[in-house]
Structure 1
Amino acid sequence: MTIIENVVGRVTILRGGKYSIEVDVITSSGFGRFAAPVDENPSLYIVEAHRAVSEVDEIIGPELIGFDAQEQELIDSYLWEIDGTDNLSHIGANTALAVSVAVAKAAANVKKMPLYSYIGGTFTTELPVPLIGFASDEAFEYYVMVRDLMEITDVVDAMVKIEEHAEKTSVEELSKASEAASDELGLDIAIGIVQKRPLELEEVLRTVEDNNIAYIKPLGGEELFLELIASTHGVFVDGEYLFKEKDIIDRRYYNALSIKPINFGTLTDLYNLVNDAKSERITPILAEAKFESADEALPHMAVGLKCPAIMLYKDSLVKINELIRIAEDLGERGRIITFEG
């Protein structure tokens, strides 16, 4: 049975020593657990984590007992109703996400289905291209991407080779190392860059044009995004900054959007945003938050929501290995989604 019998919250510790909330959803014959990640500016410290646990144990949990865990959209909308604000500022996006994903996991567990198949349905066969973050300097965070990916492990091999060839961490050195790795492995390897501080428009354009870059997450105004879209071909321009700062979701400004589940609340909210991006012909990229638990759900969400790419950090071994397991589970049915800028 998928009727919810109990909902339990607890404090959990994430990567980097940050605190968050973990939620168990228990049905008569199923169980789901999820620990909410925390983004770049963590606000969910130990006091807030304990407050979130109290919200789950005293308010949210009792309200959800008796709901059918298969009614994901209904439960997610009810979480918004319990919160009573237009941005989940009362119960918190962390708490809403923890409850929502735990509900989906419980329902999938009852049905003895992998989470990706429960979310995406019978015809879920597409695997996302992984972008793996492996280095950073004062200006950028660096990711590795394999354009002609055949196996999930190709991107891990590419990262290792780039690290072997690079003598220092700089965009020029890592670009050269990616080209050397391409020759050595026979793969089309490129790097991705995430801006950490504002740069002059000309410097950003020159950096992309002069190096082996396939992905950039810029930091700036509309003019920067318009110039990048107009001046590049086959490069993913990630519009997360414009979306977060100005609520712009428009193909004229960017062709990709990294989506961190923690920023949007429930699984239903995540599903809707992914579809909104696709309707604008923008590539949705499910992205790991800065501080995460060793939970395997993110790759399942990326596959279930049919996101063409997923962004992970190199120390996220649980998630990388789970993506490999999903590929193995799909077998000949599985195929990597075409990921074109």
Structure 2
Amino acid sequence: MTVIENVIGRVAVLKGGKYSVEVDVITSSGFGRFAAPIDENPSLYIAEAHRAVSEVDEIIGPELIGFDASEQELIDSYLWEIDGTEDFSHIGANTALAVSIAVAKAAASVKRMPLYSYIGGTFTTELPVPILEIANGEDFDYYVMVRDLMEITDVVDAATKVLENAEGSTVEALSKATEKAGDELGLEVALGLVQKRPMETEEVLSIVEDNNIAYIKPIGDEELFLELIAGTHEVFVDGEHLFREKDILDRRYYNALSIKPINLGTLTDLYNLVNDAKSERITPILAEALYESSDEALAHLAVGLRCPAMVLRKDSIAKLNELIRIAEDLGERGRIITFEG
């Protein structure tokens, strides 16, 4: 049975020593658990985490008992109704996300289905390309991407080779290291950049054009994004900054969008944004928040929602291993999504 019998909240510890809320959703024959991550400027210290647990135990949980866990959209819309604001400022987006994904996990467990298959359906066979963090600098965080990925582990081998070959932590040094790694492994290895401070448009363009860059998440105004789209070829220009700051979802400005579930609130909201991006011919990329638990759900969300890529931090072993397990589970049916700019 998928009828919810109990909802339990508790304090969870995330990477970096931050606190969040973990939620259990229990049915007579199913169980789901999820600890919500926290993004930039986390406010959920221990006192706030306990407040979130109280919200789950005293308000949200009693309201959801008797709901059918398979009615995901209905439950998610009810979470918005319980909150009563336009941005989950009452119960918190992290609390809503913890409940929402725990509900989906519980419904999937009743059906004895992996979460990715429950979300995506019978014909879910596509695996995302991992974009893996390798280093952090003053101007950029650096990532490795393998365009012609054959196995999930190829990106791990590529990241290891890049770090072995790198003669410093600059764009130029890491770019050369990706080319050497590609030659040694017989793969198309490239560099990804996440901009950390505003820079002149010409400087950003020059960096992308003069180096082996396949992915960049810039910070700047619309002009920068337009110049990058016009002046680069087969480079993924990630529009998260424009989307977050100005609510712009437009292929003219960028061709990829990293999406952090914690910034949305529920699984239904995540599903809708992924589909909105696809309708604009923008590549949706599932991304980790700054502070995460070891929960493996992000890999299932990326596969179930057919996101062509997922951005992982260098210590995201649990999520990377889960992606490998999903690939094994799919077997010959599984294929890695072609990730083209």
Indicate the SS of the match to 2:143.
strand
**1:218-267 C-alpha deviation (Å, 9 max, x unpaired):** 00000000000000010000000000000000000000000000000000
Rounded Cα–Cα distance in structure 1 between residues aligned with 2:41 and 2:127: 30
Distance in 1 (CA, whole Å) between partners of 2:68 and 2:129 is: 34
CA distance, structure 2, for counterparts of residue 84 and residue 197 of structure 1: 36
State the shift of 1:41 in Å: 1.3
Aligned position for 2:196: 196
CA distance in 1, matches of 2:263, 2:191: 25
Give the match for residue 312 of structure 1.
Answer: 312
The CA distance in 2 between the partners of 1:290 and 1:152, in whole Å, is: 23
> Does residue 1:217 correspond to 2:247, yes or no?
no
Q: Is 1:80 aligned with 2:88? A: no
Secondary structure at the residue paired with 2:21? strand
Tell me the equivalent position of 2:244. 244
Counterparts of 1:194 and 1:81, CA distance in 2: 36
Q: How far does residue 43 in structure 1 lie from its aligned partner after superposition?
A: 1.3
Q: Where in structure 1 do 4 or more consecutive aligned residues deviate above 2 Å?
A: none
Aligned partner of 2:296 in structure 1 is 296
- The CA distance in 2 between the partners of 1:48 and 1:281, in whole Å, is 39
Q: Name the counterpart of 1:53.
A: 53
Deviation at 1:44, TM superposition (A): 1.2
Distance 2:123 2:20 in 1: 34
**Which residue identity lines up with residue 251 of structure 1 in the other structure?**
R
The Cα offsets for residues 153-197 of structure 1, whole Å up to 9 and x where unpaired, read as 000000000000012111000000000000000000001000000
1:46-66 per-position Cα deviation (integer Å, ceiling 9, x unaligned): 111111000000000000000
1:99 aligns with 2:99: yes
Q: In 2, Cα distance between the equivalents of 1:239 and 1:276? A: 14
Gaps of 5+ in 1: none
Q: Deviations 1:251-292 (Å, cap 9, x if unpaired)?
A: 000000000000000000000000000000000000011100
Deviations 1:279-313 (A, max 9, x none): 00000000011100000100000000000000001
Quote how far apart the aligned CAs of 1:45 are: 1.2
The answer as to 2:62 corresponding to 1:62 is yes
User: Which residue matches 1:122?
Assistant: 122
Q: What amino acid sits opposite 1:288 in the alignment?
A: E
Partner of 1:159: 159
Q: Is residue 2:6 matched to residue 1:6?
A: yes
Partner of 1:186: 186
Q: Give the secondary structure class of the aligned counterpart of 1:321.
A: helix
- Cα distance between partner residues in 2 of 1:40 and 1:191: 24
Q: Which residue of 1 aligns with 2:340?
A: 340
> Is 1:280 aligned with 2:280?
yes
Letter in 2 for 1:45: Y
Aligned mates of 2:134, 2:21 — CA distance in 1: 27
Q: Secondary structure at the match of 1:33?
A: strand
Structure-2 separation of matches of 1:304 and 1:30: 20
Shift of 1:316: 0.6
- Which amino acid is 2:300 matched to? H
- The percentage of aligned residue pairs carrying the same residue is 82
Task: Give the AA of the match of 2:19.
Answer: Y
Cα RMSD (Å): 0.4
Question: Partners of 2:267 and 2:323 in 1: how far apart?
Answer: 19
Partner of 2:323: 323
Look up the equivalent residue of 1:95 and give its one-letter code: T
